[in-house]
Amino acid sequence: MSPIIAIEEHYITHEIKSLIDNYSSMPAQTHSRLNDHFDLRIKEMDEAGIDIQVLSHNHPGAQIFSPETAADFAMKLNDELATIVSKHPKRFAAFASLPMQAPEIAASELERCVTKKGMCGAMLHGMLKGEFFDLPKYWPVFAKAEELDVPIYLHPGVPDKRVSDAYYKDYTDEFKVFGTAGWGFGIEMSTAAVRMVLSGIFEKHQNLKIILGHLGEGLPFLIDRTHEGITTRQSPNKRQVSFRNTFCKHFYITTSGNFSDSALLCSLMEMGSDKILFAVDWPYNNNKDATSWIKRTKLSPDDYQKITHSNAQKLLNLNF
Ligand code: MN
């Protein structure tokens, strides 16, 4: 038996939907799948041969609440998620959704979700009110993740308005996802990852583990150039950062929404098969497209096992 574990698979809360369900422009079939916690979800998992989904709330999850209500609503959101998992404990695991607008509360919520609810880490989305999460005020969350030995998944969110206006808006009427899944998401999240390396957080938290989706948001292709620029042209007598070493040590990447042989080969060459995990990005991508692709690749049996399940079992401490 060779299970397939998919680790970037989304849903929408029913419990506090009115607070969060602002997806009116979303295609109906995507919306109905996000809202489906069991029936269609499990049917489409079975049809594609996916054994386990690691569930995460759709963007922006608990990041949408005000700092005053964040603790309460995040708890409700995560309790509901734990209940979903408990109905099918052999098919689901979960990433917590954290109220990052109140970092200390987010750190305690992460601890509660991991130690009391059996979750395997947390997912953060994009930026928060124009700020990236590498800023020191957010470090308590990463410190807690390191202490609990769980990863933080950096997932795209809607790009900052200043960026969208300057970079994307001239073409988004015609090409709706240019600023998001078609290009903007990757640019923002690869920037978020490079900033984390520059921030020095990995010098302080040497066992911190970060996950990026979409085969590393373009970074595997750019590691060499980024390393060259950042590592060899630093100011003398300042803190030295090895981009390549830091990125390849602390980051894991998933195949979500990027089922490309050439991108996978590049990722394998730069990061190695211990750092790549299978994901679909359901329901934005189709389960069967993802599983038929991964089965068709010319991965060695060893690498196939690692990417489809054993890396996830180890990183997320899953006991399936
Ligand atoms: Mn996603």
0.85 exceeded by pTM: yes
Q: Is the dihedral of CA 139, 152, 14, 75 positive or negative?
A: negative
- Which residues keep their CB under 5 angstroms from ion ligand 1? 8, 281
Range of the domain at 73: 5-315
How does pLDDT run across 159-178, given as a tens digit for each residue? 999 999 999 999 999 999 99
Spatial contact of 98 and 71, defined as CB atoms under 8 Å apart: no
Q: From ligand 1's centre to the CA of 156, what distance in Å?
A: 7
133 located within any domain: yes
| pLDDT for the residue 24 | 73
Q: From ligand 1's centre to the CA of 254, what distance in Å?
A: 10
103 located within any domain: yes
Q: How confident is the model at residue 240 (pLDDT cuts 50, 70, 90)?
A: confident
Instruction: Kindly report the average pLDDT of the chain as a whole number.
Output: 95
Q: From ligand 1's centre to the CA of 57, what distance in Å?
A: 9
320 located within any domain: no
Active site residues: 281
260 located within any domain: yes
| pLDDT for the residue 237 | 76
256 located within any domain: yes
182 located within any domain: yes
Confidence check: pLDDT of 20 > 80: no
| pLDDT for the residue 187 | 96
Q: What CATH number does the domain containing 55 carry? A: 3.20.20.140
Number of structural domains found in the chain: 1
148 located within any domain: yes
Evaluate the omega torsion of the peptide bond into residue 283 and state whether it is cis, within 30 degrees of 0. yes
Q: From ligand 1's centre to the CA of 157, what distance in Å?
A: 9
| pLDDT for the residue 236 | 78
